[in-house]
Amino acid sequence: MSRAQDPKFDREEQPELTERLVGINRVAKVVKGGRRFGFAALMVVGDGKGRVGYGHAKAREVPEAIKKATEQAKRKMIRVPLREGRTIHHDVKGRHGAGRVFLRSAPQGTGIIAGGPMRAVFEAIGIQDIVAKAIGSNNPYSMVNATFDALQEMQSPRHVAGRRNKKVSDIVANRETGAGSIESAGE
């Protein structure tokens, strides 16, 4: 059976993805006869269950730019570990260019406290409770890249436990009791 006939490789059978348009800009190319106008689109795509990607593309027409950016975002998807399917496991910082972001996990019911481009990323991932702060550049491209930089540093307790050859319960228990305190250091 060829790849084209194999249902595993059928693009239409992907889970339902949410597409968010973060920004659209009119760009100009100066040529001998004047200016040629086009459009640049920045898209975020996610499945609402921890997978997200972003893409940006240029084209002469807006719908074509959006379509190209969406396809690029689907190709560049990453998996982000979520705690209880609603927030991140730990606080994390991200940076791209002059844009810096701080992401903090939040208790249930907090909601998404984040601005513009970061909000689109969190909604696409499926995060329901998070507090985020952007410092420096408020350029949408820098904010999305910095947010993805932070999300790529995210580690689940299962991943950390596997790396340290410990049980997940040991990692989570240490986090809750305050590992590294004076009492635990003396033992």
Based on the fold, state whether residues 87 and 169 are members of the same structural domain.
yes
Q: Find the CATH number of the domain harbouring 37.
A: 3.30.160.20
In whole angstroms, what is the distance from residue 43 CA to residue 68 CA?
A: 9
Of the two residues 169 and 122, the one the predictor is more confident about is: 122
**At residue 35, does pLDDT exceed 90?**
yes
For the chain, the straight-line distance linking the first and the last C-alpha, in angstroms and rounded, comes to 61
Based on the fold, state whether residues 138 and 164 are members of the same structural domain.
yes
Based on the fold, state whether residues 66 and 93 are members of the same structural domain.
no
pTM of the model: 0.80
Residue 42, CA distances (Å) to 19, 88, 97, 169, 172 in order: 11, 24, 17, 41, 37
Per the structure, the complete domain to which residue 20 belongs is given by 9-78
**At residue 141, does pLDDT exceed 80?**
yes
Residue 110, CA distances (Å) to 118, 131, 147, 175 in order: 16, 8, 19, 22
pLDDT at 184: 42
Averaged over 148-176, what is the pLDDT? 81
**At residue 103, does pLDDT exceed 50?**
yes
Q: Which long-range contacts (CB under 8 A, 24 or more apart) does 35-40 make?
A: 36/60, 38/65, 39/65, 40/65
Only one residue has tokens 């410990």, namely: 166
φ, ψ for residue 141 (rounded to 5)? -65, -45
- Assign 173 a pLDDT band (cuts: 50, 70, 90): low
Residue % of the chain over a pLDDT of 70: 84
- Assign 183 a pLDDT band (cuts: 50, 70, 90): very low
**At residue 172, does pLDDT exceed 60?**
yes
Based on the fold, state whether residues 67 and 127 are members of the same structural domain.
no
The answer to the question of residue 59 being in a domain is yes
Based on the fold, state whether residues 70 and 84 are members of the same structural domain.
no
Based on the fold, state whether residues 57 and 127 are members of the same structural domain.
no
The answer to the question of residue 18 being in a domain is yes
Final residue in a domain of this structure, among 61, 78, 95 = 78
**At residue 144, does pLDDT exceed 90?**
yes
The answer to the question of residue 160 being in a domain is yes
Nearest alpha-carbon partner for 22 in 5, 50, 1, 42: 42
Averaged over 110-127, what is the pLDDT? 90
